[in-house]
Chains A and B, each alone.
Chain A
Amino acid sequence: MNSHNEMQTTFLSVAENESFARVVIAAFAVQLSPTVSEIADIKTAVSEAVTNAIVHGYEGTRGMVTLRATIQDRSLLTIEVQDSGKGIPDVTKAMEPFYTTHPEQERSGMGFAVMQTFMDDLTVHSTPGSGTTVRMSKRIHSGGGY
């Protein structure tokens, strides 16, 4: 395989696209020969980030969500999920486990904690009024496969 690869896809912020994003990232990551468990980690982290963009970023309105991924060194997968929604006023607070602005919708407040647990690295850049970018990476130790 090539040592470097990248992809980008943009989709509307509707909940149906959560599973679409999971399938896309899994299909892209498969060239790294991840284990079933690594694929589950990546799909879950992307699902959380895309759900945040839909539920919090656009909150009842519609906009576009961009999913980007790159592969470096034949093993490092970096994923970005970007929205142009309302942004997060206090990222540190938002990342606290169990913190949610939507308890009435039974949001668990565990989204960022799941991303942190399942990926090696997570950074969140957000500007209130212009959007949020979640960037996360994971090194895939090839040798897995299905």
Chain B
Amino acid sequence: MLRSIRDGDKLLVGLDGELDHFCAQSVRRELDSQISDPTIRQLILDFSGLTFMDSSGIGVILGRYRILRERGGTVAVIHMNEHISRIFHMSGMGKVIRQLDSKQEARR
């Protein structure tokens, strides 16, 4: 189960452990179930518990971005470690997905 906090049209979801091709399918399924409520317009992924991510994670994040974009929403990420941040930026995700720098930002 992914930890999540709902606040109005905003949903903060915490990812834990490793996000590779093996884990991607279950993470994708769970995220999709969490964002199935169409009134959710802002998805914020909290990476503070994520210790590893490879390009399979890029696919998962961009896939959820497409779902939110369809309903006029956005996806943002918070608490990326240096390694995940490198993958995030090399994939060009930074152009469409906002990077927040603290939970205070997330609540703004």
Q: Which residues of A contact B (CB under 8 A)?
A: 15-16, 18-19, 22, 37, 40-41, 43-44, 47-48, 51, 54-55, 105-108, 110-111, 113-114, 117
Residues of B within 8 A of A111 (CB): 55
- Whether the Cβ atoms of B52 and A43 lie closer than 8 Å is yes
Chain B binding surface SS class: helix
Look across to chain A and name the residue whose beta carbon is closest to the beta carbon of B63. A106
Name 24 interchain pairs, CB-CB below 8 A, sorted by A: A16-B22, A18-B20, A18-B21, A18-B22, A41-B83, A43-B52, A44-B52, A44-B87, A47-B20, A47-B52, A47-B54, A51-B21, A51-B56, A105-B59, A106-B60, A107-B59, A108-B56, A108-B59, A108-B91, A110-B91, A113-B90, A114-B87, A114-B90, A117-B90
Specify which chain A residues have a CB less than 8 angstroms from the CB of B50 in the assembled complex. none
C-alpha gap A16/B54 in the complex (Å): 15
What is the CB-to-nearest-CB distance from B77 to chain A, in angstroms, rounded to a whole number?
15
Q: Chain B residues with Cβ under 8 A from A47's Cβ?
A: 20-21, 52, 54
> Interface readout for B86-98 with A: 1 if CB under 8 Å, 0 if not?
1100110000000
| B contact residues, total (Cβ < 8 Å) | 21
Docked complex Cα distance between A90 and B63 (Å): 26
Instruction: List residues of chain B with CB within 8 A of the CB of A110.
Output: 55, 58, 90-91
Q: How far is the CB of A58 from chain B (nearest CB, A)?
A: 13
For the complex, is B79 an interface residue (Cβ under 8 Å from A)? no
Given the interface contacts A18-B21, A44-B83, A51-B20, does A106 sit within 8 Å of B62 by beta carbon? yes
